[in-house]
Chain A
Amino acid sequence: MILPDYYEFCCRVKIVAGHDALEKIPALLAEMGSKKPLIITDKGVAAAGLVDIVVNALKEGVTIGGVADNVPPDSDLKVVNQLAGLYRDNACDAIIAVGGGSVMDTAKGVNIVVSENATDLMAFSGAGALNRRLKTLVAVPTTAGTGSEVTLVAVIKDHEKHLKMAFTSYFLLPSVSILDSRMTMTMPPFITAMTGMDALSHAVEGYYCLQKNPLSDAHSLAAVNMIHQYLPSVTKNPADKDGRLAMAVSACLAGISFSNSMVGIVHNLGHATGSVCGVPHGICMAILLPYGLEYNMHKRGETIAELLLPMAGEEVYRKTPKAERAEKVVSLIRQMNQDLNEITGGRHARYFSEVKDRDGKQMVPREILPEIAKAALLDGATIYNPEDQDYEENLLVLEAAWEGKPLDRNKIKKG
């Protein structure tokens, strides 16, 4: 285990998990002195009936100030301002965010505006611009992957000015996160698969990247163990309540890990692929994760090998020679992608050449890989990757991930 000379770790979110955790919200709001929450969500979540479940769990114990379901797939500054107006007009005193990353980010943006009585959200962008507690924010994630219910970041887009504003502060951490199995029960198998692999990428990258520490490690190891055990089974059997709750908890554990230890090349190339080709984040993570491990193997082989125990259990770990454990971790992750591909009838892509849009059109044409490799040079996750990356190496990894071939590690430049 790597013991850094110095590190920082913070997770001050109260986490409530269970098959009936939503029913606890009124008591939690009362504890924090809040009486009238505004529910923020998106149309997809509302159409899936998830907001109704939340409202039913709340309505006997609390007055709901309003339900706003107009959060777009990408957060939007205009929507943040409009929802802040709604919050004020209805005299709300807390926010309940029900949804995925965009809903969480929007809710955090609204919370800045209403807590700081701000007119210009931009004034609070960057790190360290917030210096006091915000209003009560309850996060109810509806996917088991992003971990945004325990992260301190919000990204809000100003579509008019084509700006993407990032906000980072411990004050953006939700007051409470509710992990309730009912919120993910209706997730289709291919979304369950890709969001689960997103969580695995957080846990694994959090375990080998430069800012790792013993506290983030503990969260990563627990997450890896649960995801490997539950993701294939819950994708196969979506009605598995216990499996759903286990995945929600795993994603939360992985979120705590990576928000403290940060992430590396998998996210770096994944963000670039997402922005150039519009491939969903979870798909990018699933495809790139084995390559991230291979890329860093010469620097982090022993660390990666430690993941075999939580993934495969004691017997496999003991029987695998020490020198082969890291490779075994990579092959187990590839096997997970293969299993998920079969369970989802081919919808879970294993390589970039397999990723198709709704019309069956290839989303990542081979000739666009140089553009992605170039875009990755602008993404900050590279800072935390153990090995340095340049354009040629980004392209090397992307080409291997496009073809589905193992990475030729001899081509990685050594210092």
Chain B
Amino acid sequence: MREIHAGGKPLKKAYVAIFLWFTGRAIQAAAKVDKEVQKEFAALPDDFTFALGCLPNGPWMVVGKEKGKVKYFGGNLKCRPVHLRLVIKSLDAAFLILSFQESTALATTRNRLMTDGEVPYALSVIRILDIVEVYLLPKLIASLAVKRYPSWWSFSRKLAGRVGVYTRTLLGF
């Protein structure tokens, strides 16, 4: 008889890790570029930090405020105290969400995404993630990722935002 160990799926894990790394940097970028993201972060406590990742062993993305600036802190959950964890129950579920086969709202209704922390904080973070996804993804894919694609945004907001977020994400500032 052989034991079957949990884990494996290195390709999925790599995809999720890269996506979280990129999204973490994109949130840091969007906080400099988009007024709505700035407003959401401004309403959160000064040292507010949140993590998004999956059970049982990650990967994770840690983002927070430090000295008035929003920063991506990498993937180490222990790097600083975390106020809110958005926990995806498994790597498979994380892959479904992060490959846009399932929106954040749908993942929540299917009990794949849990909130560990205050609900108002979680709602703020979800609004921020939605805005970042709209900047990062083409409309067709972003429409699958968010509950409602913001068609009412002006062309200039979308264009300037995309250029700003992508440039800052890739260059890391």
Complex CA gap A128/B111 in Å reads: 13
Interface pair A383/B105, CB less than 8 Å apart: yes
Q: What residue of chain A has the Cβ atom nearest to residue B114's Cβ? A: A127
Q: Is the CB of A415 within 8 A of B151?
A: yes
What 1/0 flags go to B112-152 for Cβ under 8 Å of A? 00111001101100100000000000000001001111111
Task: Report the interface size for chain B: residues with CB under 8 A from the other chain.
Answer: 22
**B contact residues around A262 at 8 Å (CB):** 109
Q: Are A414 and B123 neighbours in the complex by a CB distance under 8 Å? A: no
Chain B minimum-CB-distance residue to A383: B108
Give complex CA distance A210, B102 in Å: 13
Cα of A210 to Cα of B148 in the assembled complex, Å:
14
Q: How far, in whole Å, are A188 and B42 apart by their CA atoms in the complex?
A: 47
Q: Check if B110 is an interface residue, CB within 8 A of chain A.
A: yes
A-side contacts of B122, CB under 8 Å: 380
Q: A378-B119, A378-B123, A383-B123 known; A210 and B152 CB under 8 Å?
A: no
Task: Determine the chain A residues whose CB is within 8 A of the CB of B151 once the complex forms.
Answer: 413-415
Expressed in whole angstroms, the Cα–Cα distance for A6 and B110 within the complex equals: 6
Interface string of B84-120 (1 = CB under 8 A from A): 0000000000000000000001101111001110011
A380 touching B119 in the complex, CB below 8 Å, given contacts A413-B152, A414-B151, A415-B149: yes
Given the complex, which residues of B lie within 8 Å of A295, measured CB to CB?
Answer: none
The CA of A383 and the CA of B123, in the complex, are separated in Å by 8
User: Given the interface contacts A415-B143, A415-B150, does A382 sit within 8 Å of B123 by beta carbon?
Assistant: yes
- Min CB gap B133→A, angstroms: 13
Residues of A within 8 A of B149 (CB): 415
Given A378-B119, A415-B151, A210:B143 Cβ within 8 A: no
A384 within 8 A of B: yes
Which residue of the partner chain, among B109, B119, B123, B126, contacts A384 with CB atoms under 8 Å? B109
Within 381-414 of A, Cβ neighbours of B (below 8 Å) are at 382-384, 387-388, 413-414
The verdict on A8 contacting chain B, using a C-beta distance below 8 Å, is yes
A387-B123 Cα distance, complex, nearest whole Å = 15
Interface members, chain B 69-89 (any A CB < 8 Å): none
* Residue contact A413 to B148, C-beta cutoff 8 Å: yes
Interface centre among B106, B147, B149, B151 (most CB of A within 10 A): B147
A210 with B106: CB separation less than 8 A: yes
Do B116 and A126 have beta carbons less than 8 Å apart?
A: yes
Determine the chain B residues whose CB is within 8 A of the CB of A128 once the complex forms: 114
Q: How far is B14's CA from A57's CA once the two chains are assembled, in angstroms?
A: 63
- For residue B115, give the distance in angstroms from its CB to the closest CB of chain A: 8
Residues of chain B within 8 A (CB-CB) of A6 are 110
B156 to chain A, nearest CB (A): 19
> In this complex, what residue of B is CB-closest to A262?
B109
Residue on B with the closest CB to A387? B148
**Closest CB pairs A-B (n = 3):** A415-B148, A378-B120, A388-B148
Chain B residue contacts of A130, Cβ below 8 A: none
Chain A neighbourhood of B148, CB < 8 A:
387-388, 413-415
* New A-B pairs, 19, CB < 8 Å, besides A387-B147, A415-B143, A415-B151: A5-B110, A126-B116, A127-B114, A128-B114, A210-B106, A210-B109, A262-B109, A378-B120, A378-B123, A379-B119, A380-B123, A382-B123, A383-B109, A384-B105, A387-B148, A388-B147, A414-B148, A414-B151, A415-B149
